[in-house]
Structure 1
Amino acid sequence: MTGEDHPGAEPAATHWLAVADEVARTLAGDAVEREQANEHPRREVALLRDAGLLALLVPAEAGGAGHQWPLAHQVLRRIAAADASVGHLLGYHWFQLWRTRLFDRPDLTARLERNTAEDRLFWAGVSNPRDAALALTPTGRGWRVTGRKSFATGASVADRLVVSGTEDTSGRKLTFVTDAADPGIHYLGDWDNLGQRLSASGGVEFRDVLVHPDDVLGAQPEEDGGAAHRQSLAPLGFQLLLSQLHVGIAHGALTTAAGYTTERTRAWSASGVERAVDDPHVLAGYGGLTARIEAAACLVDTAAEAFDAAAAAGQALDAATRGRAALRISQAKVVSTEVVNAVTTEVFELTGARATANRYGLDRFWRNARTITLHDPVKYKAAEIGRHLLTGHYPPVTGYS
């Protein structure tokens, strides 16, 4: 679904969709001005916090709303349609907290979820796979962490962080949680990109940050098996979230452009009609874009179902189930990338030259799409799909697949 209620939504789910719609209306009301001001997104995170959305996926027994990913995906699309940066922040918050469940530390996860509900905590991560890993040096009472990561979406406005680094004595990759306000963590404020300007995706430097063993989620499994398969869901989850953001951005661009066309676009002199909304070329243009967005949304929904099935398998997750989810997510990533880049470009042909004025901010959808779709090369996702067709091999387990 791109904007409408799920046909079988339960009353509690309907409530949260209404909350998401209200948050989206608030964000859309000054989206252009906020994006042009390019300030740190603290007010935006506060809006999510006050709306109660941060604990949407926290179990009810831990004080949260107790909902699952299908509802979260719908909420995410609504908010991303209004402001892709805020959708990015919310999706990553949910996933960083959720992925603590992939480790064998249920006690720690329970504590983190309870604290998140009680204190309305906002989460982010520091785990860019392509950066040189942070170095964790054993101290006898824990670890000392030093190093730098180039991209850490939301970290500078977060309350807590999920961090991955490499133990310098053993080479083990460890994942831990830490207070984002630790005095040894320095946020570089160097995110100055074309789009996703309010996603707070700048670099982070760790200077002798101390980590206690109680805050370590665990190490990356060295052998293939259930634990390794389960932890390998993390990169798939991020890829799925990106595909959801693509659909949300496309829907936001379409609805914003449609509103402009209805209210402002003048009929072209050669069209033979008085109103742009009666021009068959305009009608066909909007109809074609709508169909493509809905098709992408359906494919992303199918990928989400495959991911949910893999996650539900727990420690019994096998390579084939994981592989099928990876393949579906790669398919969703390829199609949603093509669709969002096409939609955010072609809406200008339907709105007209006057719609390029900065005060309308229609370009923000294209800039956001162009930026976020470059997160990792989509051609490699297409190659994964082709390899499966020709050889039967599923996508390999990497930091991006």
Structure 2
Amino acid sequence: MTIAVDVQALGASAGGVPGPVKPEAPAHVIRDDAEAIAVATALAAEFRKGASERDRHATRPLPELDAFSQSGLWSINVPRAYGGPGVSYRTLARVVAIISAADPSIGQIAQNHLGIVAAIQTVSDEDQKHLLFGEVLRGVRFGNAFSERGTKRAAEFETHFVDHGDHVLVRGQKFYSTGALLAHLVPIVAVDGEGRAWYAIAERDAPGLTVIDDWSAFGQRGTASGTVLIEDVRVPKTHLVPAWKGYEGPRTDGAVFQIIQAAIDAGIGRAALDDTIAFVREKARPWIDSGQDRASDDPYTIQAIGDLTIRQHAAEALLDRAGDALDAAIAAPDAESVAAAQLAVAEAKVLTTEIALAASNKLFELAGTRSTLAAENLDRHWRNARTHTLHDPVRWKYAIIGNHALNGVNPPFHAWSSIPSQPA
């Protein structure tokens, strides 16, 4: 696959693909929830224009990311006490869904950044919060070097670090590194000598850190979620975030990561449904037995669109509900409030997954053979939905929801929240 990357614009690096230069001017700071929605809506209108062509050519969206992060939307969950907007997670999920409906690769690239911002608020000390939130408010983007291939389970890591006084040296290899290619700083999940996971936040072009643009999935092609090589990368302890603290008790870190995943899928479902309606109205032909002059008057098509619309609205409503539960748990975290947030997010994750897949698949049945032509590129919706919803299996979401309803078993504390834990 040919990857379109403007290497000169990205800067210089010792190996792999070079990273982008940091912004010269501070990013805008959003005032409130209403402005966050307005800015997201305006950006989405611009991102939508080139989304199909970016997908077609697997172009990495650097100009769009620069506009996105400089708009202030990448700092919307920085708390007000540190100079940020501190918007609700209901609003944050809506922002991600709006952007993802325009281009879900762009929505997903922001996902881990926003999750890291939430984790810093949960686990960092005051000095580290001021330092790292200050970076975010200046428009610096966090990437992701979390997951590894070859370990027995997703939450097991071989990447580790060694203490060297005022810094650590990190060594390992990552894959599914969404956002690392176009990030300014790369949080690396690495374990210490006790097996505890930390975010070691490295400079994107630090010696020994190599980002390889080898993402070849058929969907979410613009995310560049490929390989990161980490060979004795130096990270100052000021940038060593104790991620493990976010999962040692009732904390919302896992639910934050999950609600953003659900919001991306809600956006994919919305885009697929909107494009189905537009195609049926403007280009599809009615079936010969319908007796109709327009495809949009076919009673079976009307019924199918009605069904998808209800399911999309239900998914979006559960996403709002999950955001409210998450906001409540962040305000007063305890075992019950955090479990309620996890369960609400799990319910939203189920329905957003299902509507993304259903809408992107039903599109072709309702729009007809013409909708499969390469010129239309409508298959990108299904490819994006099928790829992104593989992040974690919703069959386990049913399990934790059912086990709580039947047996009072709360979800566990990890970034996927998909394995039953112990009774409350």
> TM-score by structure 1 length?
0.89
Taking the TM superposition and a 5 Å limit, the aligned residue runs for 1:222-301 are 228-230=248-250, 232-301=251-320
Correspondence for 2:361 among 328, 333, 345? 345
Correspondence for 2:208 among 184, 195, 202? 184
Equivalence for 1:400: 416
Number of aligned positions between the proteins:
382
User: Does residue 46 of structure 1 match 2:70?
Assistant: no
**Could you tell me the percent identity over the aligned residues?**
32
Whole-angstrom distance in 1 between the partners of 2:293 and 2:243: 66
Q: Shift of residue 62 of structure 1?
A: 4.5
Whole-angstrom distance in 1 between the partners of 2:243 and 2:119: 13
Deviates further, 210-219 or 372-381: 210-219
Paired residues of 1:257 and 1:362 also in contact (CA < 8 A)? no
In structure 2, runs of 5+ residues without a counterpart are 1-29, 148-153, 418-424
Paired residues of 2:118 and 2:256 also in contact (CA < 8 A)? no
User: Does residue 94 of structure 1 match 2:114?
Assistant: yes
Paired residues of 2:145 and 2:188 also in contact (CA < 8 A)? yes
Paired residues of 2:206 and 2:234 also in contact (CA < 8 A)? no
Equivalence for 1:6: none
CA offsets 1:302-340 (integer angstroms, 9 cap, x no match): 122112211122xxx222222222222222222222222
User: Does residue 162 of structure 1 match 2:187?
Assistant: yes
Give the secondary structure class of the aligned counterpart of 1:323. Answer: helix
Tell me the C-alpha RMSD between the 2 structures.
2.2
Give the secondary structure class of the aligned counterpart of 1:125. Answer: coil
Label 1:130 to 1:149 Cα distance change in 2 as closer, same or farther (>3 A): farther
Q: Shift of residue 125 of structure 1?
A: 2.4
Taking the TM superposition and a 5 Å limit, the aligned residue runs for 1:1-400 are 12-59=32-79, 62-118=82-138, 120-128=139-147, 129-130=154-155, 132-167=157-192, 169-218=193-242, 220-221=244-245, 228-230=248-250, 232-313=251-332, 317-400=333-416
Label 1:209 to 1:383 Cα distance change in 2 as closer, same or farther (>3 A): same
Whole-angstrom distance in 2 between the partners of 1:30 and 1:40: 12
Paired residues of 1:267 and 1:279 also in contact (CA < 8 A)? yes
Q: Shift of residue 163 of structure 1?
A: 2.5
CA offsets 1:151-195 (integer angstroms, 9 cap, x no match): 21101110112222112x333333332222212211122211021
Whole-angstrom distance in 2 between the partners of 1:370 and 1:227: 29
CA offsets 1:189-223 (integer angstroms, 9 cap, x no match): 221102111112112111111122222222624xx
Whole-angstrom distance in 2 between the partners of 1:88 and 1:280: 36
Give the secondary structure class of the aligned counterpart of 1:207. Answer: strand
Q: Shift of residue 63 of structure 1?
A: 4.7
Whole-angstrom distance in 1 between the partners of 2:216 and 2:83: 37
CA offsets 1:351-370 (integer angstroms, 9 cap, x no match): 11101111212111111110
In structure 1, runs of 5+ residues without a counterpart are 1-9
Whole-angstrom distance in 2 between the partners of 1:186 and 1:90: 20
Paired residues of 2:90 and 2:321 also in contact (CA < 8 A)? no
Q: Shift of residue 12 of structure 1?
A: 4.9
Given residue 299 of structure 1, which amino acid in structure 2 is its aligned partner? L
Whole-angstrom distance in 1 between the partners of 2:252 and 2:367: 41
